[in-house]
């Protein structure tokens, strides 16, 4: 699946396909650096690396925007609360949606809003975790490239622009 096909609100809220893409992208780029990089291949590796990083950044930026927030680490960690949202609550909301009558379920609107808030928080948390993972992976990759391609003037500052 192409990375642009993953840039949908559905995939941001249900990120299994995005996480698979990120894992595969890292496997074909960053993970291969230690074993495949030679002095001769340095010039070829950098553009490919930038391209993979850009794809991953595009997806994470899109999902961060879908969640409607910043990737500020000061956001509360609601993982436990999200996980405890019971199937009963989801069933309750789905039933109320089909009824469209506040007399049937006067709490449906409140429950739907709470679910959307939890989905937004959950999305922001996985995006934040993936961005931190990206930072760690890139720092490691930069270190390896700088060691093996040092004669080419490869500098960590070049990589931190992405």
What is the tens place of the pLDDT at every residue in 40-84?
788 788 888 889 999 999 999 999 998 885 444 443 444 444 444
Structure tokens at 103: 């007399």
- The 3-class SS string of 92-149 reads HHHHHHHHCCCCCCCCHHHHHHHHHHHHHHHHHHHHHHHHHHHHHHHHHHHHHHHHHC
| Per-residue buried b or exposed e for 120-133, using 16+ beta carbons within 10 Å of the residue's own CB | bbbbbbbbbebbee
pLDDT per residue as tens digits for the range 105-136: 665 555 566 566 677 888 899 999 999 999 99
pLDDT for the residue numbered 44: 81
Query: Across all residues in the chain, what is the average pLDDT?
Result: 74
pLDDT bracket for residue 91 (50, 70, 90):
low
Coil vs helix vs strand at 85: coil
Ramachandran area for residue 54 (φ above 0: left; ψ -120 to 50: alpha; else beta) = alpha
């Amino acid at each position: 699946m192409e990375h642009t096909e993953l840039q949908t609100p559905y995939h941001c809220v249900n990120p299994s396909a995005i996480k698979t893409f990120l894992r595969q992208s890292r496997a074909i780029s960053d993970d291969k650096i230690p074993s495949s990089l030679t002095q001769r291949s340095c010039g070829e590796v950098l553009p490919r690396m930038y391209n993979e990083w850009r794809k991953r950044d595009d997806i994470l930026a899109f999902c961060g925007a879908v969640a409607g927030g910043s990737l500020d680490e000061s956001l509360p960690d609601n993982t436990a609360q999200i996980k405890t949202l019971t199937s009963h609550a989801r069933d309750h909301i789905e039933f109320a949606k089909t009824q469209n009558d506040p007399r049937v379920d006067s709490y449906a609107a409140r429950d739907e809003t709470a679910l959307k808030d939890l989905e937004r928080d959950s999305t922001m948390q996985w995006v934040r975790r993936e961005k931190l993972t990206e930072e760690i992976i890139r720092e490691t990759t930069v270190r390896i490239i700088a060691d093996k391609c040092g004669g080419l003037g490869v500098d960590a500052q070049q990589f931190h622009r992405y």
